[in-house]
Chain A
Amino acid sequence: MEIRTITAPFTDEVLSSLQVGDIVNVSGTIFCGRDAVLPRLVKLMEEGKWEEQGIDLKGGVIFHTAVSRAGVGPTSSNKAELEGTMPQLTEAGIRMFLGKGELKDETIAMFDRYNAVYAVIAPVTALLNSKVLSQKCIAHPELGMEAFYELQVEKFPCIIAAAHGKRLS
Chain B
Amino acid sequence: MEFNYNDVVAKVADCLVRAGSTFRQDKKDAYKCAIQCEELERAKWNLETILENAEVAERDRSPLCDDTGIPHVFVEVGPNRCLTGSMMKAIQEGVREGLKELPGRPMAIKGNDAERIDMSGGISPNSEDLALAPFLIKEVEEDVIRVHILMLGGGPAIRGITHRIFHKHNLQVVLDEIVARAKEGTRLLGCTPCALAVGVGRSQFEATALMMEAMVYSDFSKQNEMEKYITDKVNESGVGPLGLKGKTTVLATFMKVGPQRASGVRVVALRPGCCFEPRMACVEL
Contacts and interface: CB of A to CB of B under 8 A. Distances in A.
B135 to A, nearest CB: 24
A105 interface: no
A66 B125 CA distance: 13
B66 A76 contact: no
A125 B53 contact: yes
A126 B62 CA distance: 6
Interface stretch (B25-33, B42-50, B216-224, B228-236): B42-50
Interface stretch (B1-9, B84-92, B184-192): B184-192
Given A71-B66, A122-B53, A101 B106 contact: no
Contact of A65 (B66, B122, B274): B66
A157 B49 contact: yes
B67 interface: yes
Contact of B106 (A68, A130, A157): A68
A157 B46 CA distance: 10
A126 B53 contact: yes
A155 to B, nearest CB: 12
Nearest to A35: B119
Interface in B39-96: 41-42, 45-46, 49-50, 52-54, 56-57, 60, 62-68
Contacts of B111: none
B188 A124 contact: no
B96 to A, nearest CB: 15
Interface string A138-169: 00001111100000000001010100000011
Interface in A53-78: 65-66, 68-78
Contacts of B273: none
Nearest to B67: A73
A120 interface: yes
Nearest to A167: B244
Interface stretch (B97-105, B138-146, B255-263): B97-105
A100 B102 contact: no
Contacts of B53: 122, 124-127
A76 B52 contact: no
The winner among A120, A123, A168, A169 for most chain B CB atoms within 10 A is A123
Nearest to B56: A126
A69 B127 contact: yes
Contact of B188 (A76, A123, A130, A144): A76
Interface string B241-285: 011110000000000000000000000000000111000000000
A40 to B, nearest CB: 13
A159 B246 CA distance: 14
Contacts of A69: 103, 105-106, 127
9 contacts: A65-B66, A71-B63, A73-B66, A77-B190, A100-B190, A123-B274, A123-B275, A143-B123, A159-B45
Given A125-B62, A126-B63, A161-B244, 16 more contacts: A23-B42, A69-B127, A70-B106, A71-B63, A73-B67, A75-B155, A76-B188, A76-B190, A77-B190, A122-B242, A122-B275, A123-B191, A126-B64, A168-B244, A168-B245, A169-B245
